[in-house]
Structure 1
Amino acid sequence: MNLSEIKNILNTVEAVNFKLEDGTMVPEHFHVTEIGVVNKHFIDCGGVVRKENKANFQLWDANDFEHRLKPGKLLSIISLSEKVLGLEDLEIEVEYQSTTIGKYSLTFDGKDFVLVNMQTACLASDACGVPAEKQKIKLTQLPVANACMPGGGCC
């Protein structure tokens, strides 16, 4: 989800709720403690230099149990970030505390924002020797002509 998408959604909802993919809700008294830009400049294992920019939201589960972030307040925080930081319409990455600080992508299911688990991947699998995933087939799908028959001498 990009910044423009979350802004459009915030203009239509009455409450800001986040949940994990497994359905676990982020406590409703969470705070958005940071909105910023994360710039990543790196080289992959195939030697290709890459740059990546993302809008970063940090959610914090505080012990301020009376706190409820309203859509208008989050929109004003985003607006201030755009003005002060020059925040562009970037893909959003969310940081949220699990066993360590987890990074999530973001979707919306029509009611709640969903923190989607992210996975690592090799960006240069063709250059660094990672074998392509082999196609899986069932043995029953193999042609019978190639099958080894009792007494056929192939075993």
Structure 2
Amino acid sequence: MTITDFLSQLRSHADKPVRFLLPDGGLIPAHFHITEVGHVLKRFIDCGGTRRTLETCLLQTWVHDDLDHRLMADKLAMIFDKAGDVLPHHDLPVEIEYEDGVVAQFPVESAEIIDGMLVFRCGWKHTDCLARGICLPGECCTTPEPAAKAVPATCCTPGSKCC
């Protein structure tokens, strides 16, 4: 879900409390706070030598001992409004950061009204090899991305050290 979609949901259901449903079926506790609205820009090079970027809007949640706290949709929309130029555009995907033993990030996938609350469903993030044609046996002969180096014909032979 992009920032545009996220804000549309918030503004369409301004009077509703906001909840986040985690991919395992659990909910972030109802008394969470949003402590950061951030623009995260990750620049990296994959194992095949291709330079890449990944951008997201990351909302950091924090759970404190103020059990009566509830974040309403209109208040979260106002927090976004204060973010201003921190967010370069509203086509960024929205992710939630939540700590429950470990800090994890979850992409926001959809929204629905459940029991009078605006519930955002979160999904899992996964790791992946972005240069499979170079690194994985049997996938050597796939066409590399235009920015990638040419793949040697022997890259997937035993002992070739393709990675």
TM-score normalised by length of structure 2: 0.75
Residues 42, 55 of structure 2: 8 Å contact kept: yes
Partner of 2:142: none
Partner of 1:55: 57
CA 1:37–1:74: 2 relative to 1, 3 Å: same
Residues 93, 106 of structure 1: 8 Å contact kept: yes
Q: What are the Cα deviations for residues 113-145 of structure 1, in whole angstroms up to 9, with x where unaligned? A: 11211110111111223545xxxxxxxxxxxxx
State percent identity of aligned pairs.
Answer: 32
Runs of 4 or more above 4 Å deviation: none
Partner of 2:132: 125
- What pairs up with 1:1-155 in 2 under 5 angstroms? 1-13=1-13, 14-81=16-83, 83-89=84-90, 90-111=92-113, 112-131=119-138
**What are structure 1's unaligned runs of at least 5 residues?**
133-155
Paired positions, count = 131
Letter in 2 for 1:123: L
Larger gyration radius, structure 1 or structure 2: 1
Letter in 1 for 2:21: K
TM-score normalised by length of structure 1: 0.78
Whichever structure has more helix as a proportion of its residues is: 1
Cα RMSD for the two superposed structures: 1.5
1:86 Cα shift? 4.0
